[in-house]
Copies of this chain bind each other. A is one copy, B any other.
Amino acid sequence: MTKPLRLGIAGLGTVGVGVVRIVQRKADLLAARSGRPVTISAVCARNRGTDRGVRLGDYDWQDDPVALAQRDDVDVFVELMGGADGPAKAATEAAIAAGKDVVTANKAMLALHGQALASAAETAGAALRFEAAVAGGIPVVKALTEGLAGNEISRVMGVMNGTCNYILTRMQGAGLPYDEVFKEAAALGYLEADPTLDVGGIDAGHKLALLASIAFGTQVDFANVELEGIQRVEIADIEQAADMGYRIKLLGVAQMTGRGLEQRMSPCLVPADSPLGQLEGGTNMIVLEGDSVGQIVLRGAGAGEGPTASAVMSDVIDLARGTRLSTFGQPASSLARPTPAKSAVPAPYYIRMELQDKPGALAKVATVLGDAGVSIDRMRQYQHDQANAPVLIVTHKTTRKALDTAIAGMGETGVVAGQPVAIRIEEV
């Protein structure tokens, strides 16, 4: 048998324990597929005493992840601590400096420091891989970097945060407002310690920025991801969008346009009968569009012990087999610095407003839209017994700027109560 591939695992939370379990339980399978055994030399976590339900006695315990990363008996440093900076980054840098390959699930670290780390890895002749950082068990980094490598990618999009999709589909299914479902999700342990990472779209935005880098050959540019969370999504919009044949999703979209790289992570309407519209609960879905391949859709669990550990092992087995790729699919030095698009490509929009029950009210709104150059595709005024009538409008394609002009104009008509809600309809 050839030399084993020896891992040093830093971080023994859910994912770390999952990786240990696979290495222990599937040793024969891993050896058969990798052509060599995969072993663990040492592990490291914050608290040595914790019972993690997995046998760790065979491995050296290392308190310091940096020391773990530098050990002579570690070929691959598996970074599962998380956190954009601090010990995760220090240990990753130490591993790279020591010429070790690194496998990480750390989307925040790569979204913020991916270019520097990838450059350092290349200089040191080390590999830095991150399948587990995006969409859990879905092998999307591999699909994009390798499977679709012959394509010019036109758009990458997807539902990349299971918690947000759970909240939105639960709101719809139970007819409950956001605040209540948020509390449920918290009680179920579905939320990050800082829930804004989830519901604010930050976690999903990190993932989108990583995919955009691979797709467009550009340096990771999380700072220019337009972020909007799901905190302001109202049950009324979920229900009325459904009535118009749509679902509301926290949708990530990255596309290269004539005006630069557009990266958005925001609530969008998608057709209810599209694969994205049909996605329920905590599942993730990524849609990749290439000039030759057309549209490829990938669906699976975006989080959890098994799925995320599966993705970590995919990178580990690649390294065991001798597969060595650039972190973002091409040398870091060749990645272009992206020009962020200043505005999103035109799209249809959904607008919901409360219209005062006065003669000519609808005409005034329609005039304001027309004056702003926004044309109406569909309109519905609902039966009501209040002073104000709920009105829904689906526009034809328009720019966000024209839409904002129209919405500002609506406020001046004196017939619209409160602030209209406008949500982009993404054509999928």
Contact = CB atoms under 8 A, between A and B. Distances in A.
Interface in A36-85: none
A368 B293 CA distance: 51
A330 B326 CA distance: 24
A309 B26 contact: no
Interface string A396-408: 0000000000000
B152 A147 contact: no
B151 A310 contact: yes
Cβ-closest 5 pairs across A and B:
A139-B147, A150-B313, A292-B306, A137-B293, A293-B310
Majority-rule SS of A interface residues: mixed
A300 B326 CA distance: 26
A125 interface: no
Interface stretch (A27-35, A221-229, A263-271): A27-35
Tallying the copies of this chain within the complex gives: 2
A261 interface: no
A306 B294 contact: yes
A317 interface: yes
Given A296-B299, A297-B298, A313 B149 contact: yes
A139 B146 contact: yes
Interface of A: 18, 22, 26, 29-30, 32-35, 131, 137-139, 142-143, 146-152, 217, 273, 275, 278, 290-301, 306-307, 309-314, 316-318, 321-326, 329-331, 334
A137 B153 CA distance: 14
Contacts of A331: 35
Given A32-B217, A290-B310, A143 B146 contact: no
A327 to B, nearest CB: 13
Given A18-B292, A151-B310, 15 more contacts: A32-B330, A34-B149, A35-B326, A131-B147, A137-B293, A137-B294, A137-B296, A146-B314, A147-B314, A149-B317, A275-B275, A295-B300, A297-B298, A321-B325, A323-B323
